A and B are shown apart, each in its own frame.
Chain A
């Protein structure tokens, strides 16, 4: 056969190679420097960066701010303080894993809590039913976001910028821009404040909201790592076209992601009533950016498809540790913002560096 190909451009020499049996492309790990090895390690375990930062910052503030910071009580307080933003960060992580962004998480959360409060306290509807309706509203808002992103093909940033404003306005309308005070909730529907209650354990103050934070992370960790749905979320975020060609109905996956994120926001809304001690339509106005901060510091790539859901939990805790540590050390509040700003920049720089491995 070979004689027929003789003289054809690009062919000569190829036949001679047909019998080479040497491995044509090995995955060489040997000839990379120490920095390259760190890069490969972080590429395989992206959650290590925030974990190391968290450990260092706890130890650092422990030395810097003393036992007042390092007490079990303060540690549990930090978890309480990040319990709402942490849950929002789970919703945000889901969206960011699909290479999107959700600017409406805080508005969805606050509107859901306002609806629950309005129904249960103002209209006197039974508390579990009010909460279920608020969950349905959160899910519906997420569904609408998913619809806009997939069917109308809006960029997630624009779709959720729109729904953020729409639902923030509706929130002010439903609530009349009025808070529902703690005493009114206690009288009509104490269940709404359930997640604000504490119990003591070995010198710590653990709120049910902190437990909810751990539970939500646990459930989503399971869903993302142990189910086909989780694989599909990563595949869609990684390369949507490839996922579609591989037979995944990517629109359905995206809509489900937005709907689940909406439901999680509504659950965060219930927890927020306990944390604030009231239903406040103007609370958590910075919740969007804080949730994105936790996700980014937690090592989830803004470009989608990469990172562990446990990262944002650690990211939220890092923010909490910095706030608490700097406050106890008596440092002006502006330096908290300063420090968190740098954390975001460093986190995304590290992510970019890790991603370059595959280029």
Chain B
């Protein structure tokens, strides 16, 4: 990560107002290639608005977003995803009654190559199951035995695993994880953090939004601290203690200029 590197995802001067409430107040954001960027901030600091703007779920009133240096503008999450920004929402956006394989390919199904596929839109179930199995085992998630198992029969951690694998599977440039460990127990959180590290090892940069400071400090390369609608500072977890990070977050400590 040299200072000359172009950020994979960058935002400058983002603004979003709701009436007289300013949710994003000319905020900046930088995600460098191959890093895990933690995003922390107090409730109401506007970090979810920022993330929604980056993932296409919210249209900023002003400011610019650049992906690999190119200026982009997303009208919907679908457009952001087509550009390569995959978001794993806190709700996971999985369909409980559908199988793991169906969920991974939801909205981007593969059709059979034969006449049935062309004329009658037949799905290539086998190809999808094979790819799903391959992607899950690459991330060490094949404790899940049956790829045709409905998602609702999985544990919380396994569901999170499927959602992350879905995001990682489609050649994306950026993966945004919104509170991936919030609903999980200690052991399952551990698995998910390992998974996050595995995804980074494959070269995809990750934005990790979390309330859990130990989790963020453990896996993040840099931590973006959001306060009052803008970036207060960016710290490196080994330079700043967790207590100081919380103090910056709440305004008790002025951010030092790096």
Contacts and interface: CB of A to CB of B under 8 A. Distances in A.
A67 to B, nearest CB: 43
Given A5-B217, A25-B157, A242-B91, A231 B106 contact: yes
Contact of B123 (A26, A228, A243): A228
Contacts of A235: 95, 98, 102, 106
A8 B214 CA distance: 8
Given A13-B186, A27-B154, A234 B97 contact: yes
Interface stretch (B7-15, B16-24, B145-153, B222-230): B145-153
Contacts of B106: 231-232, 235, 243, 246-248
Interface stretch (A14-22, A79-87, A160-168, A343-351): A14-22
A242 B186 contact: no
B84 interface: no
Contacts of B189: 14
Contacts of B212: 10
A238 B98 contact: yes
A248 B107 contact: yes
Interface string B95-116: 1111000110011110100000
Contacts of A239: 94-96
Interface string B166-198: 000000000000000000001111110000000
11 contacts: A1-B218, A5-B242, A226-B121, A238-B97, A238-B98, A239-B96, A241-B93, A243-B95, A246-B106, A247-B106, A358-B96
B213 interface: yes
Interface residues of B, number: 47
Interface string A200-244: 000000000000000000000010001111011011001101111
A245 B123 contact: no
Given A234-B98, A238-B98, A246-B95, A8 B213 contact: yes
Interface of A: 1, 4-5, 8, 10-11, 13-14, 17-18, 20, 23-27, 222, 226-229, 231-232, 234-235, 238-239, 241-249, 305-306, 358
B109 A305 contact: no
A42 B214 CA distance: 43
A81 to B, nearest CB: 32
Given A243-B106, A247-B107, 15 more contacts: A1-B218, A4-B242, A5-B214, A14-B186, A25-B155, A27-B153, A227-B121, A227-B122, A228-B121, A231-B109, A232-B107, A234-B97, A239-B94, A242-B91, A305-B96
A14 B190 contact: yes
A242 B95 contact: yes
Nearest to B92: A242
Interface in B69-93: 77-78, 81, 89, 91-93
Contacts of A27: 145, 149, 153-154
A24 B95 contact: no
A222 B92 CA distance: 29
10 nearest A-B residue pairs (beta carbon): A25-B155, A245-B93, A247-B107, A228-B109, A358-B152, A235-B95, A242-B93, A246-B106, A11-B214, A227-B121
Contacts of B157: 24-25
B103 to A, nearest CB: 8
B12 to A, nearest CB: 27
Contact of A238 (B95, B149, B153): B95
Nearest to B104: A246
A227 B97 contact: no
B78 A231 contact: no
Nearest to A25: B155
A242 B94 contact: yes
Contacts of B242: 4-5, 8
Contacts of A20: 187, 190
A211 to B, nearest CB: 20
Contact of B97 (A17, A247, A306): A306
Contacts of A358: 96, 152-153
Contacts of A226: 120-123
- Most chain A CB neighbours (cut-off 10 Å) among B92, B98, B212: B98
Given A5-B214, A226-B123, A227-B121, A24 B98 contact: no
A285 to B, nearest CB: 34
Contacts of A234: 95, 97-98
Contacts of A232: 106-107
A242 B89 CA distance: 9
Nearest to B86: A247
A27 B120 CA distance: 36
A61 B28 CA distance: 75
B190 A18 contact: yes
Nearest to A242: B93
